[in-house]
């Protein structure tokens, strides 16, 4: 039924094709021997003729030859909001493609590096041993710093008990020892976090390796 309606409209439009563009209210016209159909905002064809009415200049159009064959189509002009939405969607697609490509490279590197899940465990243990050794060294340093700070503070307390001011040189030593201890504490916390990160990293690698190979 819809096709019959369009054919009737097309036939009428072809018969009226000799009318000038100005007679149609100043809208744009199609080429000689061709007509154009225009659509509303919902995408429904609402009219055909040799000239697009001014109010439909930004609508989607379809140009037909005298046999009714489509020779050209144009989309509706996008609003600023539609353009932004389209751009955002394009950026999302590009980001998804980048992530897929990154994952492909990571998977290839994983399969090129390891042949069994047990090899991943061994590499994890080697990395952990190095960090653990550094951590133990720092923990020994902070213990020494605690002992030194305790002795310095004991000397300062002795001055206080005798109602004497703490010598500036002693106070400077206390401040320096406290600063060094605080710095070492931060380094210890960083190493502990590094250990956690290494365990998580190799856990993720092992899980992905099993997903890709099916090896247990």
pLDDT of residue 67: 62
Burial of 38 (0-12, 13-18, 19+ CB in 10 A): buried
Which of these three, 74, 94, 129, is where a domain ends? 74
Query: Has residue 2 got a pLDDT over 50?
Result: no
40 and 15 in contact (C-beta within 8 Å)? no
pLDDT band of 126, cuts 50, 70, 90: very high
Give pLDDT tens digits for 36-81. 787 777 777 777 777 777 777 677 676 766 666 666 666 656 677 8
pLDDT of residue 43: 72
Q: Give domain status of residue 98, yes or no.
A: no
The DSSP-derived string for 104-142 is HHHHHHHHHH-SSHHHHHHHHHHHHHHHHHHHHHHHHHH
Domains identified in the chain, total number: 2
Give pLDDT tens digits for 129-184. 999 999 999 999 989 889 999 999 999 998 888 889 989 998 999 999 999 999 99
pLDDT of residue 66: 62
Q: Are residues 63 and 120 in the same domain?
A: no
Q: Give domain status of residue 205, yes or no.
A: yes
pLDDT of residue 20: 37
* Measured distance CA(52)–CA(78) in Å, rounded: 18
The DSSP-derived string for 34-102 is -EEEEE-TTS-EEEEESB--GGGTTS-EEEE-TTS-EEEEEPPPPPHHHHHHHHHHHHHHHHHHHHHHH
HSE-CB at 177 with a 13 A cutoff on CA atoms is 17
In which domain, by residue range, is 131 found? 114-213
Reference 62, options 10, 12, 21; nearest CA is: 10
Q: Are residues 67 and 127 in the same domain?
A: no
Q: Give domain status of residue 107, yes or no.
A: no
Q: Give domain status of residue 44, yes or no.
A: yes
pLDDT band of 122, cuts 50, 70, 90: very high
**Rounded alpha-carbon distances, angstroms, from residue 58 to 28, 46, 78, 198:** 11, 14, 8, 58
Give pLDDT tens digits for 92-120. 999 999 999 999 999 999 999 999 999 99
């Amino acid at each position: 039924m819809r096709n019959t309606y369009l054919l009737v409209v097309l036939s009428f439009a072809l018969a009226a094709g000799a009318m000038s563009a100005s007679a149609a209210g100043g809208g744009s016209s199609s080429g000689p021997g061709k007509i154009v159909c225009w659509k509303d905002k919902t995408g429904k064809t609402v009219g055909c003729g040799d000239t697009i009415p001014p109010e439909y200049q930004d609508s989607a159009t379809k140009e037909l030859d005298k046999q009714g064959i489509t020779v050209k189509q144009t989309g509706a002009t996008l609003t600023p909001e539609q353009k932004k939405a389209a751009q955002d969607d394009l950026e999302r697609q590009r980001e998804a493609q980048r992530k897929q490509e990154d994952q492909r490279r990571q998977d290839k590197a994983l399969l090129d590096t390891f042949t069994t899940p047990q090899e991943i465990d061994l590499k994890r243990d080697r990395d952990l041993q190095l960090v653990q050794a550094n951590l133990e060294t720092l923990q020994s340093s902070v213990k020494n710093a605690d002992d030194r700070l305790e002795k310095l503070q004991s000397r300062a307390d002795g001055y206080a008990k005798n109602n004497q001011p703490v010598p500036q040189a002693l106070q400077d030593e206390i401040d320096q020892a406290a600063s060094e201890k605080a710095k070492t504490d931060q380094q210890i916390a960083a190493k502990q976090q590094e250990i956690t990160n290494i365990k998580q990293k190799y856990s993720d690698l092992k899980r992905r390796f099993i997903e890709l190979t099916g090896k247990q």
